[in-house]
Amino acid sequence: MNHSTPEPKPVHLAVYDTFADWETGHTTAYLARAGREIRTVGPNREPVKTVGGVRIQPDLALDELRPEDSSLLILTGADLWDTGDDLAPFARKARAFLDAGVPVAAICGGTAGLAREGLLDDRAHTSAVSFYLAATGYKGGERYVDADAVTDGNLVTAGPTEPVAFAREVFGLLGVYEGEVLDAWYRLFHDSDPEAYAVLEKAGQ
């Protein structure tokens, strides 16, 4: 009999015009290195263009994405979060994921989208600054945490200047890296700590 662990479900990265290139690079690169499949999900299947001018062809459209087919939905920042309701369907999808017990990770503008959707009213969270979220009119101000990144249950949030802390929280939530290895990964990429490299080397053997 074959008792091998089933393949983990893919991680879904939301992509849309003005997507902030730098915010999820560490997260997706190291999830992929750990053997996780990354699939991009756009508003539809038309190509999108990041804030850095990189064209991305989505693997699937938002309405094709089901929480039961995913291990995580990542919502990246984008100018579009703050200029209208174009990305509101992505926040509604995040609600479906959280309702189904599937994790969501949001950074920068993605956190404002979740705030508008009411998903931060009763969860500890962070963002760029508290008044950025306060401007959404949400009711979760008392749950705001002044930290680089925050995990509450199945939800990770971070501000735009914390892509490494964001990745750390995602890896911890998914169990990709744990304990001293997770700590060493963060120290290497956040603090350029040379001693952390040795820990990762040893763990990789």
138 residue type, one letter: Y
182 and 100 in a common domain: no
Mean pLDDT score of the chain = 96
In a domain, 5, yes or no: no
What is the enclosing helix (H) or strand (E) of 104? Answer: strand 104-107
Task: Write b or e for each residue in 63-83: b if 16 or more Cβ atoms lie within 10 A of its Cβ, otherwise e.
Answer: eebebeebbbbbbbbbebbbe
Query: Is 19 a member of any domain?
Result: yes
**Whole-angstrom Cα distance, residue 155 to residue 157?**
7
Q: Please check whether residues 134 and 46 belong to one and the same domain.
A: yes
The range of the structural domain enclosing residue 110 comes to 11-174
Q: 94 by DSSP, 3-state: which?
A: helix
Q: How many CB atoms lie within 10 A of CB 200?
A: 15
Is 134 found in the same domain as 47? Answer: yes
What is the DSSP secondary-structure string of 55-81? EE--SEEGGG--GGG-SEEEE--BGGG
> How many Å apart are CA 33 and CA 36, to the nearest integer?
7
User: For residue range 140-171, what is the model confidence (pLDDT) as tens digits?
Assistant: 999 999 999 999 999 999 999 999 999 999 99
Give 186's pLDDT tier (boundaries 50, 70, 90).
very high
Q: Is there a single domain that holds both residue 136 and residue 153?
A: yes
Retrieve residue 57's tokens. Answer: 């062809």
Verify that 199 and 98 share a domain, yes or no: no
CATH number assigned to the domain comprising residue 153: 3.40.50.880
* Same structural domain, 28 and 126: yes
Query: Is the pLDDT at 2 greater than 90, yes or no?
Result: no
Q: Is residue 89 part of a domain?
A: yes
Q: Which residue among the candidates 13, 62, 78, 108 is catalytic per the annotation?
A: 108
For residue 155, the cross-strand partners are: 104, 152
Q: What confidence tens digit (pLDDT) does each residue in 80-130 have?
A: 999 999 999 999 999 999 999 999 999 999 999 999 999 999 999 999 999
Could you tell me if 50 and 131 lie in one domain? yes
Could you tell me if 202 and 184 are in contact, meaning their C-beta atoms sit under 8 angstroms apart?
no
pTM metric for this prediction: 0.95
Q: Is residue 18 part of a domain?
A: yes
Total domain count, the chain = 2
pLDDT range class, residue 7, cuts 50, 70, 90: confident
**Is 108 tagged catalytic?**
yes
Residues 182 and 170 in one domain: no
Same domain? For 199 and 137 the reply is: no
Q: Work out the average pLDDT over 61-73.
A: 98
User: Looking at the structure, do residues 159 and 201 belong to the same domain, yes or no?
Assistant: no
| Residue 6: inside a domain | no
Give the tens place of pLDDT for each residue, 50-62.
Answer: 999 999 999 999 9
Sign of the Cα torsion 1, 102, 124, 24 reads positive
| Domain identity same for 71 and 88 | yes
Q: Are residues 198 and 168 in the same domain?
A: no
**Is the Cβ–Cβ distance between 90 and 75 less than 8 Å?**
yes
Identity (one letter) of the amino acid at 62?
L
